[in-house]
Each structure stands twice: as structure tokens, then as C-alpha cells.
Copies of this chain bind each other. A is one copy, B any other.
Amino acid sequence: MNELNDTNQGKHTPLTELGEFGLIEHLTKGLKNRHASTVKGVGDDAAVLDYQDKMVLVSTDLLVEGVHFDLTYMPLKHLGYKAAAVNISDMVAMNGVAKQITVSIAVSSRFTLEAIEELYAGIKLACERYQVDLVGGDTTSSVSGLFISITVIGEGEKERIVYRNGAKENDLLCVTGDLGAAYLGLLVLEREKQAFKANPNMQPELEGYDYVLERQLKPEPRTDIIDLFRKNNLLPTSMIDISDGPASEILHICRQSEVGCNLYEEKIPIDQTVFHLALDFHIDPTTCALSGGEDYEILFTISQKDFELVNNMPGISVIGHITDQNSGVNLITRSGASVPITAQGWDALLRKEKEK
């Protein structure tokens, strides 16, 4: 994660030296628009995008300091990268491709120009990696804290947009990658924060936690999946990305599709390091995988006829199947018991952990 290191060494220019327009100009200097569709980016009342026979996708996220992120362990560059990445992930969740984003931030006077530059550096890095144009935004002051609002605009082909509400009985439930790592990364960071509070001379012990920390601090949207689906001529029946946690996302799909689901515990993809680390934290690995969020993997359903196709794709697990609505949404445990899945997002989980 060296590319996300602090590149401003100790400079502290107050934002007031630039003024609002100066700051915007400074931050957007050197931005290049990549798409022919970006007729006009930063610098006017609105961005102008030229689409023909395409679907335009728009999604937006508001991130609040102290609610969505903690700057004591989230470096600003990572925060910027993640803020852009999770929005790009929303486009993936529609089987679409992110093309442009707008970024609005409100910052209190405790932030320096360099701090905001770091934030933007992370955003720009994600934009570069995922070929997204930053086309506008707003920069303003807050009374306290940092607020980031990102809107992403993407496109998709009319026949290939996938919604949450298309799952049908007997469809198979699939997920990309593995689950639970991002949440454990957060727990590791929280633990070190508490240890640091107790003894400020202590050095953080983060060695050996690379995987879970990277999953928490620098999630990568699964844009590769969209390409894979297209190459294989596969069209899922429903799709959603995992932000709140698979349990919550499965419930979204089932509710909107008016179906039920059986999810098999033994099929849930959990990395070995995640499995053992969860036990270190005295958390059931399955609970961690299902209720821990922020993995930004893609949960989707496919028609049974496409099973062979998906089975041959690397890094995709079939974890359950869709049932009728009356059967409910259930986890089938290793011992064969059927347990209703509840909407316990990672916020709730974290709260429970803190109460211990």
C-alpha cells in the first residue's frame, strides 16, 4: 500500500490562504477527462456527459467523520480511495461501469490544505485505476468534522442492467471472493486504538494482519466481474454489492424479489487467516462473514441453467439457492439446522462487540 503513503511531509498551509475557488482550482489541477462522453468536467455549473443508446447510472454516498470513518486509524489517502471505490462498487452492483464521479467535501478549520490534498490523492488514484473521470463537486467548510459526499455516474447496456428484484425460485445464490476480512480489519484497528489510548508509548502491532487491514482500508470494487460476466455471456438475475454485510444484502434481494433463500454455512467462503483471527477475537467466523460488512464483494443470483458457467469461473462460490417467499430466509448450519437470517449489519455487530 506504498502508493497511499503520505506525500506531503509536514507542510501545513491553512485553507484560508487559498479561498474556495483557489482550493477547487488547486485540487483539480492536472485532472484529465478520459471519456469522449465527458464533454465538460470541472469548471462550470454542471458536468456535461454525452450518452447515446446507453443507460446512465447515478449513485451517491455521504460519509461522515465519527460515523463512517475514524481518522485516528484511517489515513486520509486511504479514506479518499475507499470513498471512491465504494461508489464504483455500486455501479458494479448494477452490472454497469462507473464513468464519472463528483466529490463534495465539508471540512472544519482543523484540516490543512495538505490533509485535503491527501484525501484527493486517494480519490484520484482510485479514479485512475478504475478509469473514472472526476467531473465536479463542491468544497465548503463545516463547523466540525469531515463530510464527504460522492456521486457516481455510470453506464450500462439496456439489456444487461441487473436489479435487486430479479431473483426467481430455484435460482442459485453466488458470491465473489471471500467474506468477513474487512470487518476483522476494523476490529484489529479498533483494538490497537484502545491499546494506544491506554499507553501512548506503545507501538501498534499490525504485523501479520496485512490481508484484513488491506480489505478494510483499501477495498477494491469488483469491476473485473462485469468483464467476466460479459465474456461468458452470463446475465445474473439479481445483484447487490456487500457494504452492510451479506446477511443484510441477502434480505434486500429476497424482500425486493419476493422470494426466500437457503444459505449453506459450509459453502460460505472464508479465508483461513480470517477464520483463525475471528476465533482470536472470540467471534464465530460464520457470524463474522455474514454480518461483518464492507467487503465490497458481489452477491448475485443466477438461473440454474448457468450453474456450469459459474462453476468454471475462478473465485466465485455458490452458497445457496432461492426458495419461495413463505419458506423465509434461512442459514442451513453445518449440523443441518435451519436458522432465520436477521438483518444484523456490521454496525450492530460492532456495537455488540463494544458492549462486551
Contacts and interface: CB of A to CB of B under 8 A. Distances in A.
Interface of A: 39-40, 43-62, 64-68, 90-91, 93-94, 96, 100, 102, 104-106, 135-138, 140-145, 147, 149, 151-154, 156, 158, 161, 163-165, 240-241, 256
Contact of A62 (B43, B56, B140): B140
A350 to B, nearest CB: 14
Contacts of A106: 62, 64, 67, 147
Contact of A137 (B53, B60, B104, B143): B60
A187 B20 CA distance: 23
B163 A58 contact: no
A136 B46 contact: no
Contacts of A141: 64, 67
A136 B59 contact: yes
Please provide the 7 A-B residue pairs with the shortest distance between their CB atoms, ordered closest to farther.
A149-B149, A62-B104, A46-B59, A45-B93, A151-B151, A49-B56, A46-B57
Given A104-B149, A140-B64, A144-B144, A47 B53 contact: no
A95 B256 CA distance: 38
A55 B59 contact: no
Contacts of A51: 51, 54, 56
Contacts of A138: 60-62
A245 to B, nearest CB: 13
Given A52-B53, A56-B56, A91-B46, A62 B149 contact: yes
B151 A58 contact: yes
Nearest to A60: B102
B58 A50 contact: no
B48 A56 contact: yes
Contacts of A161: 39-40, 48
Contacts of A44: 94, 163-165
B240 A45 contact: yes
A59 B54 CA distance: 20
A144 B39 CA distance: 39
A151 B102 CA distance: 9
Nearest to A68: B140
A64 to B, nearest CB: 5
A61 B64 CA distance: 16
B65 A143 contact: yes
B151 A60 contact: yes
Contacts of A144: 143-145
Given A45-B241, A50-B56, 10 more contacts: A44-B165, A45-B59, A46-B58, A46-B93, A46-B152, A50-B55, A58-B135, A58-B136, A61-B104, A64-B140
